Amino acid sequence: MQTLSPDWRGPTRSGYARARTAQPDWNMNIGPWKLSGRVLLAPMAGITDLPFRQLCRQWGAALAVSEMLSADPTLRKTRKSQWRATLADDECPRVAQIAGADPVALAEAARYNVQRGAQVIDINMGCPAKKVCNRMAGSALLADEPLVRRILTAVVSAVEVPVTLKYRTGPSPERRNAVAIARMAEDAGVAALTLHGRTRVQAYQGQAEYRSVEAVCRAVDIPVVANGDIDSPDKARQVLDETGADAVMVGRAAQGRPWLFQAIHTYLETGTRVATPSLAVRKQTLLTHLREIHRFYGDWMGPRIARKHIKWYLQALQVDRCHVQPLMQPTAPEAQRVAVADCLSRLNEAPAAAPA
Protein backbone atom coordinates (compact mmCIF):
# COMPACT_ATOMS: atom_id res chain seq x y z
CA MET A 1 0.00 0.00 0.00
CA GLN A 2 1.45 3.35 -0.93
CA THR A 3 0.12 6.85 -0.61
CA LEU A 4 -0.15 9.58 -3.18
CA SER A 5 0.23 13.28 -2.71
CA PRO A 6 -1.30 14.63 0.50
CA ASP A 7 -2.92 17.26 -1.75
CA TRP A 8 -5.25 14.55 -3.05
CA ARG A 9 -8.45 16.56 -3.33
CA GLY A 10 -7.20 18.39 -6.43
CA PRO A 11 -5.06 16.79 -9.10
CA THR A 12 -5.63 13.18 -8.11
CA ARG A 13 -9.33 13.37 -8.85
CA SER A 14 -9.21 15.38 -12.03
CA GLY A 15 -6.52 13.14 -13.51
CA TYR A 16 -8.30 9.96 -12.59
CA ALA A 17 -10.45 9.29 -15.66
CA ARG A 18 -7.49 9.59 -18.00
CA ALA A 19 -5.49 7.11 -15.93
CA ARG A 20 -8.38 4.68 -15.93
CA THR A 21 -8.80 4.64 -19.69
CA ALA A 22 -5.09 4.71 -20.45
CA GLN A 23 -4.14 1.70 -18.29
CA PRO A 24 -6.57 -1.18 -17.97
CA ASP A 25 -4.64 -2.63 -15.02
CA TRP A 26 -4.60 0.66 -13.11
CA ASN A 27 -5.26 0.14 -9.40
CA MET A 28 -7.71 2.60 -7.99
CA ASN A 29 -7.01 5.12 -5.30
CA ILE A 30 -9.23 6.46 -2.56
CA GLY A 31 -7.98 9.92 -1.93
CA PRO A 32 -4.32 9.48 -0.99
CA TRP A 33 -4.56 5.69 -0.64
CA LYS A 34 -3.53 3.63 -3.60
CA LEU A 35 -5.01 0.16 -3.34
CA SER A 36 -2.89 -2.93 -3.90
CA GLY A 37 -5.50 -4.78 -5.93
CA ARG A 38 -8.97 -4.74 -7.44
CA VAL A 39 -10.99 -6.99 -5.18
CA LEU A 40 -12.43 -5.55 -1.98
CA LEU A 41 -14.41 -7.02 0.92
CA ALA A 42 -17.98 -5.67 1.22
CA PRO A 43 -19.22 -4.38 4.57
CA MET A 44 -21.65 -6.88 6.12
CA ALA A 45 -23.20 -6.14 9.50
CA GLY A 46 -22.69 -9.07 11.86
CA ILE A 47 -19.98 -10.56 9.64
CA THR A 48 -17.18 -8.18 8.65
CA ASP A 49 -15.88 -7.64 12.14
CA LEU A 50 -12.18 -7.08 12.77
CA PRO A 51 -11.18 -10.80 12.73
CA PHE A 52 -12.93 -11.43 9.41
CA ARG A 53 -11.62 -8.24 7.81
CA GLN A 54 -8.05 -9.07 8.82
CA LEU A 55 -8.40 -12.60 7.51
CA CYS A 56 -9.76 -11.42 4.16
CA ARG A 57 -6.99 -8.83 3.87
CA GLN A 58 -4.43 -11.60 4.49
CA TRP A 59 -6.01 -13.58 1.65
CA GLY A 60 -5.75 -10.69 -0.79
CA ALA A 61 -8.67 -8.28 -0.30
CA ALA A 62 -7.24 -4.84 -1.12
CA LEU A 63 -9.67 -3.10 1.23
CA ALA A 64 -12.13 -4.15 3.92
CA VAL A 65 -14.91 -1.86 5.12
CA SER A 66 -16.23 -2.03 8.69
CA GLU A 67 -19.74 -3.10 9.54
CA MET A 68 -22.11 -0.13 9.46
CA LEU A 69 -21.94 2.12 12.51
CA SER A 70 -25.02 4.07 13.50
CA ALA A 71 -24.68 7.85 13.47
CA ASP A 72 -26.84 7.94 16.59
CA PRO A 73 -24.44 8.94 19.40
CA THR A 74 -26.64 7.33 22.08
CA LEU A 75 -25.75 3.92 20.65
CA ARG A 76 -21.99 4.43 20.70
CA LYS A 77 -21.31 3.05 24.14
CA THR A 78 -23.02 -0.29 23.68
CA ARG A 79 -20.72 -3.28 23.59
CA LYS A 80 -21.94 -4.18 20.12
CA SER A 81 -21.10 -0.71 18.80
CA GLN A 82 -17.68 -0.80 20.43
CA TRP A 83 -16.89 -4.10 18.74
CA ARG A 84 -18.15 -2.80 15.42
CA ALA A 85 -16.14 0.39 15.69
CA THR A 86 -12.85 -1.38 16.45
CA LEU A 87 -10.32 -0.73 13.69
CA ALA A 88 -6.74 -2.03 13.68
CA ASP A 89 -3.46 -0.46 12.60
CA ASP A 90 -2.77 -3.15 10.02
CA GLU A 91 -6.02 -2.41 8.14
CA CYS A 92 -4.44 0.49 6.29
CA PRO A 93 -6.49 2.28 5.14
CA ARG A 94 -9.00 1.80 7.96
CA VAL A 95 -12.52 2.32 6.60
CA ALA A 96 -15.46 3.05 8.92
CA GLN A 97 -18.93 2.93 7.42
CA ILE A 98 -21.56 5.22 8.91
CA ALA A 99 -25.34 4.97 8.58
CA GLY A 100 -28.02 7.52 9.38
CA ALA A 101 -30.36 10.06 7.87
CA ASP A 102 -29.46 13.36 9.51
CA PRO A 103 -26.63 15.35 7.82
CA VAL A 104 -25.51 16.92 11.10
CA ALA A 105 -25.43 13.60 12.96
CA LEU A 106 -23.62 11.91 10.08
CA ALA A 107 -21.02 14.69 9.93
CA GLU A 108 -20.48 14.31 13.66
CA ALA A 109 -20.27 10.53 13.35
CA ALA A 110 -17.65 10.96 10.61
CA ARG A 111 -15.54 13.20 12.87
CA TYR A 112 -15.94 10.78 15.79
CA ASN A 113 -14.77 7.81 13.74
CA VAL A 114 -11.82 9.72 12.31
CA GLN A 115 -10.80 10.58 15.87
CA ARG A 116 -10.94 6.86 16.60
CA GLY A 117 -8.58 6.10 13.74
CA ALA A 118 -10.68 5.85 10.57
CA GLN A 119 -8.70 6.85 7.48
CA VAL A 120 -11.67 6.68 5.11
CA ILE A 121 -15.35 7.31 5.89
CA ASP A 122 -17.87 5.32 3.88
CA ILE A 123 -21.53 6.38 3.86
CA ASN A 124 -24.16 3.66 3.73
CA MET A 125 -26.95 4.32 1.23
CA GLY A 126 -27.31 0.70 0.29
CA CYS A 127 -28.83 -1.16 3.22
CA PRO A 128 -32.36 -2.38 2.43
CA ALA A 129 -33.13 -3.68 5.95
CA LYS A 130 -36.45 -2.46 7.36
CA LYS A 131 -34.81 -1.60 10.66
CA VAL A 132 -32.56 0.86 8.82
CA CYS A 133 -34.93 2.08 6.08
CA ASN A 134 -37.76 2.78 8.58
CA ARG A 135 -35.49 5.48 9.96
CA MET A 136 -35.07 6.80 6.41
CA ALA A 137 -31.44 5.68 6.40
CA GLY A 138 -29.53 3.25 4.14
CA SER A 139 -31.08 2.80 0.70
CA ALA A 140 -34.26 4.69 1.75
CA LEU A 141 -32.23 7.88 1.31
CA LEU A 142 -32.02 7.35 -2.44
CA ALA A 143 -35.64 8.51 -2.81
CA ASP A 144 -34.74 11.94 -1.45
CA GLU A 145 -32.02 13.39 -3.65
CA PRO A 146 -31.86 16.82 -1.94
CA LEU A 147 -31.24 15.05 1.37
CA VAL A 148 -28.55 12.89 -0.25
CA ARG A 149 -26.82 16.05 -1.44
CA ARG A 150 -26.98 17.61 2.02
CA ILE A 151 -25.56 14.48 3.64
CA LEU A 152 -22.70 14.14 1.18
CA THR A 153 -21.77 17.81 1.47
CA ALA A 154 -21.96 17.77 5.27
CA VAL A 155 -19.83 14.65 5.67
CA VAL A 156 -17.19 15.65 3.10
CA SER A 157 -16.76 19.05 4.74
CA ALA A 158 -16.64 17.56 8.25
CA VAL A 159 -13.47 15.50 7.81
CA GLU A 160 -10.06 15.72 6.19
CA VAL A 161 -10.01 12.07 5.17
CA PRO A 162 -11.60 10.80 1.95
CA VAL A 163 -15.31 10.05 2.00
CA THR A 164 -16.78 7.26 -0.12
CA LEU A 165 -20.37 6.30 -0.86
CA LYS A 166 -21.85 2.81 -1.09
CA TYR A 167 -25.30 2.74 -2.64
CA ARG A 168 -27.83 0.92 -4.78
CA THR A 169 -29.11 1.66 -8.28
CA GLY A 170 -32.17 3.51 -6.98
CA PRO A 171 -35.25 3.23 -4.80
CA SER A 172 -37.03 0.88 -7.27
CA PRO A 173 -36.62 -0.53 -10.79
CA GLU A 174 -38.91 2.27 -12.04
CA ARG A 175 -36.66 4.87 -10.50
CA ARG A 176 -33.02 4.12 -11.03
CA ASN A 177 -31.16 7.29 -10.14
CA ALA A 178 -27.65 5.88 -9.74
CA VAL A 179 -26.15 8.27 -12.29
CA ALA A 180 -27.76 11.36 -10.74
CA ILE A 181 -26.49 10.34 -7.31
CA ALA A 182 -23.03 9.60 -8.69
CA ARG A 183 -22.77 13.08 -10.23
CA MET A 184 -23.99 14.62 -7.01
CA ALA A 185 -21.38 12.67 -5.05
CA GLU A 186 -18.59 13.71 -7.37
CA ASP A 187 -19.67 17.37 -7.10
CA ALA A 188 -19.72 17.07 -3.32
CA GLY A 189 -16.12 15.81 -3.26
CA VAL A 190 -16.76 12.11 -2.63
CA ALA A 191 -13.57 10.17 -3.41
CA ALA A 192 -15.02 6.88 -4.70
CA LEU A 193 -18.32 5.07 -5.23
CA THR A 194 -19.42 1.49 -4.74
CA LEU A 195 -22.60 0.53 -6.56
CA HIS A 196 -24.57 -2.62 -5.75
CA GLY A 197 -26.52 -3.51 -8.90
CA ARG A 198 -29.91 -3.82 -7.25
CA THR A 199 -32.55 -1.30 -6.21
CA ARG A 200 -33.82 -0.86 -2.67
CA VAL A 201 -37.09 -2.75 -3.26
CA GLN A 202 -35.20 -5.69 -4.78
CA ALA A 203 -33.35 -6.24 -1.51
CA TYR A 204 -31.35 -9.39 -2.39
CA GLN A 205 -33.85 -10.86 -4.86
CA GLY A 206 -33.13 -11.61 -8.51
CA GLN A 207 -29.74 -10.96 -10.02
CA ALA A 208 -27.58 -7.88 -9.76
CA GLU A 209 -27.37 -5.90 -13.01
CA TYR A 210 -24.25 -4.07 -14.10
CA ARG A 211 -25.56 -1.73 -16.81
CA SER A 212 -26.15 0.88 -14.14
CA VAL A 213 -22.56 0.42 -12.97
CA GLU A 214 -21.35 0.98 -16.51
CA ALA A 215 -23.51 4.13 -16.83
CA VAL A 216 -22.04 5.48 -13.59
CA CYS A 217 -18.48 4.73 -14.78
CA ARG A 218 -19.17 6.76 -17.90
CA ALA A 219 -20.74 9.61 -15.96
CA VAL A 220 -18.05 10.36 -13.37
CA ASP A 221 -14.29 10.65 -13.10
CA ILE A 222 -13.96 9.29 -9.57
CA PRO A 223 -13.26 5.56 -9.03
CA VAL A 224 -16.23 3.21 -9.19
CA VAL A 225 -16.44 -0.22 -7.56
CA ALA A 226 -18.94 -2.81 -8.87
CA ASN A 227 -20.79 -4.93 -6.33
CA GLY A 228 -23.44 -7.65 -6.31
CA ASP A 229 -23.30 -11.41 -6.94
CA ILE A 230 -19.59 -11.51 -7.74
CA ASP A 231 -18.52 -14.97 -6.62
CA SER A 232 -15.62 -16.16 -8.79
CA PRO A 233 -12.54 -14.96 -10.69
CA ASP A 234 -14.41 -15.24 -14.00
CA LYS A 235 -17.36 -13.22 -12.76
CA ALA A 236 -15.03 -10.54 -11.43
CA ARG A 237 -13.21 -10.31 -14.78
CA GLN A 238 -16.52 -10.24 -16.67
CA VAL A 239 -17.96 -7.45 -14.50
CA LEU A 240 -14.81 -5.32 -14.79
CA ASP A 241 -14.81 -5.78 -18.58
CA GLU A 242 -18.55 -5.08 -18.96
CA THR A 243 -18.64 -2.01 -16.78
CA GLY A 244 -15.23 -0.35 -16.89
CA ALA A 245 -15.32 -0.32 -13.08
CA ASP A 246 -12.04 0.09 -11.23
CA ALA A 247 -12.56 -2.76 -8.77
CA VAL A 248 -15.07 -5.32 -7.59
CA MET A 249 -16.44 -5.75 -4.09
CA VAL A 250 -17.31 -9.22 -2.80
CA GLY A 251 -19.61 -9.95 0.13
CA ARG A 252 -21.57 -13.15 0.61
CA ALA A 253 -19.36 -15.32 -1.59
CA ALA A 254 -16.48 -14.83 0.86
CA GLN A 255 -18.40 -16.24 3.82
CA GLY A 256 -16.55 -19.42 4.77
CA ARG A 257 -14.23 -18.89 1.79
CA PRO A 258 -11.82 -16.05 2.53
CA TRP A 259 -9.33 -17.61 0.07
CA LEU A 260 -11.67 -16.44 -2.71
CA PHE A 261 -9.84 -13.11 -2.57
CA GLN A 262 -6.57 -14.78 -3.49
CA ALA A 263 -8.21 -16.55 -6.44
CA ILE A 264 -9.86 -13.36 -7.73
CA HIS A 265 -6.87 -11.11 -7.07
CA THR A 266 -4.42 -13.45 -8.83
CA TYR A 267 -6.70 -13.95 -11.80
CA LEU A 268 -7.30 -10.23 -12.23
CA GLU A 269 -3.63 -9.36 -11.90
CA THR A 270 -2.01 -12.21 -13.83
CA GLY A 271 -4.75 -14.14 -15.66
CA THR A 272 -3.69 -17.34 -13.87
CA ARG A 273 -5.98 -19.57 -11.87
CA VAL A 274 -5.06 -20.47 -8.32
CA ALA A 275 -6.06 -23.92 -7.08
CA THR A 276 -8.33 -24.00 -4.07
CA PRO A 277 -6.04 -24.18 -1.01
CA SER A 278 -5.38 -27.67 0.29
CA LEU A 279 -7.75 -29.12 2.83
CA ALA A 280 -5.04 -28.71 5.47
CA VAL A 281 -4.77 -24.99 4.74
CA ARG A 282 -8.52 -24.52 4.78
CA LYS A 283 -8.81 -26.38 8.10
CA GLN A 284 -6.04 -24.25 9.57
CA THR A 285 -7.73 -21.08 8.28
CA LEU A 286 -10.97 -22.00 10.04
CA LEU A 287 -9.21 -22.85 13.30
CA THR A 288 -7.19 -19.64 13.22
CA HIS A 289 -10.31 -17.63 12.44
CA LEU A 290 -12.06 -19.28 15.41
CA ARG A 291 -9.18 -18.40 17.72
CA GLU A 292 -9.30 -14.76 16.59
CA ILE A 293 -13.09 -14.57 17.06
CA HIS A 294 -12.77 -15.99 20.57
CA ARG A 295 -9.96 -13.58 21.38
CA PHE A 296 -11.91 -10.57 20.04
CA TYR A 297 -15.34 -11.27 21.57
CA GLY A 298 -14.35 -13.20 24.67
CA ASP A 299 -15.54 -16.46 26.18
CA TRP A 300 -19.29 -15.81 26.14
CA MET A 301 -19.94 -14.01 22.85
CA GLY A 302 -17.00 -15.51 20.96
CA PRO A 303 -18.40 -19.03 20.48
CA ARG A 304 -21.85 -17.60 19.66
CA ILE A 305 -20.50 -15.28 16.96
CA ALA A 306 -18.31 -18.09 15.63
CA ARG A 307 -21.19 -20.44 14.89
CA LYS A 308 -22.32 -18.86 11.61
CA HIS A 309 -18.74 -18.80 10.34
CA ILE A 310 -18.26 -22.48 11.26
CA LYS A 311 -21.44 -23.30 9.36
CA TRP A 312 -20.26 -21.45 6.24
CA TYR A 313 -16.80 -23.04 6.26
CA LEU A 314 -18.23 -26.50 6.71
CA GLN A 315 -20.81 -25.92 3.98
CA ALA A 316 -17.98 -24.87 1.66
CA LEU A 317 -16.15 -28.07 2.66
CA GLN A 318 -19.33 -30.01 1.82
CA VAL A 319 -19.67 -31.40 5.32
CA ASP A 320 -23.00 -33.12 5.85
CA ARG A 321 -25.54 -31.04 7.79
CA CYS A 322 -25.96 -33.75 10.39
CA HIS A 323 -22.31 -33.24 11.39
CA VAL A 324 -22.67 -29.44 11.41
CA GLN A 325 -25.78 -29.25 13.58
CA PRO A 326 -24.16 -30.46 16.84
CA LEU A 327 -21.55 -27.71 16.45
CA MET A 328 -24.27 -25.06 16.64
CA GLN A 329 -24.89 -25.70 20.36
CA PRO A 330 -23.76 -23.14 22.98
CA THR A 331 -20.33 -24.03 24.28
CA ALA A 332 -17.06 -22.66 25.65
CA PRO A 333 -14.27 -21.53 23.28
CA GLU A 334 -11.93 -24.45 23.91
CA ALA A 335 -14.73 -27.01 23.61
CA GLN A 336 -15.84 -25.38 20.36
CA ARG A 337 -12.32 -25.53 18.93
CA VAL A 338 -11.96 -29.18 19.90
CA ALA A 339 -15.35 -30.10 18.42
CA VAL A 340 -14.59 -28.30 15.16
CA ALA A 341 -11.09 -29.80 14.95
CA ASP A 342 -12.61 -33.24 15.54
CA CYS A 343 -15.16 -32.70 12.77
CA LEU A 344 -12.44 -31.50 10.41
CA SER A 345 -10.18 -34.46 11.23
CA ARG A 346 -12.78 -36.76 9.70
CA LEU A 347 -12.55 -35.05 6.32
CA ASN A 348 -10.21 -36.34 3.65
CA GLU A 349 -8.62 -34.36 0.83
CA ALA A 350 -11.36 -35.14 -1.72
CA PRO A 351 -13.48 -31.96 -1.37
CA ALA A 352 -10.38 -29.90 -2.15
CA ALA A 353 -11.18 -30.44 -5.82
CA ALA A 354 -14.08 -27.95 -5.50
CA PRO A 355 -13.22 -24.71 -7.31
CA ALA A 356 -12.45 -21.58 -5.28
Binding region for ligand FMN (CB under 6 A) = 42-47, 67-68, 97, 124, 126-127, 166, 196, 227-230, 250-253
Nearest-CB residue for ligand FMN: 251
Taking the complex as a whole, how short is the minimal distance between the CB of residue 248 and ligand FMN, in angstroms? Answer: 9
Confirm or deny that 43 is annotated as ligand binding. yes
- Residue 97 assigned to a binding site: yes
In the structure, how many helices (H) and strands (E) does the chain have?
A: 14, 11
Query: What count of other Cβ atoms lies within 10 Å of the Cβ of residue 335?
Result: 12
Q: How far is the CB of 69 from ligand FMN (least distance, A)?
A: 9
The maximal CA–CA distance of the chain, rounded, in angstroms, is 58
Backbone angles phi, psi at 339, to 5 degrees: -65, -40
239 or 286: CB nearest ligand FMN: 239
Active-site residue, 56 included: no
Distance CA 152, CA 203 (A): 23
The one catalytic residue in 56, 92, 127, 322 is 127
DSSP one-letter string for 239-303: HHHHH--SEEEE-GGGTT-TTHHHHHHHHHHHSPPPPPPPHHHHHHHHHHHHHHHHHHHHHHHHH
Rounded least distance, CB 15 to ligand FMN, Å = 28
At closest approach, how far in Å is the CB of 82 from ligand FMN?
Answer: 16
183 labelled binding-site residue: no
Residue type present at position 227: N
Residue number with CB closer to ligand FMN (196 or 337): 196
For ligand FMN, give the closer residue by CB, 124 or 336. 124
Q: Closer to ligand FMN at the Cβ: 165 or 317?
A: 165
Which residues have a Cβ under 8 Å from the Cβ of 338 and sit 6 or more positions away? none
User: β-pairing, 120-125 with 163-168?
Assistant: parallel
Has 227 been labeled as part of a binding site?
Answer: yes
Question: Would you list which residues are annotated within the binding site?
Answer: 43-45, 97, 166, 196, 227-229, 251-252
> Which residues have a catalytic role annotated?
127
Give the annotated binding-site residues for FMN: 43-45, 97, 166, 196, 227-229, 251-252
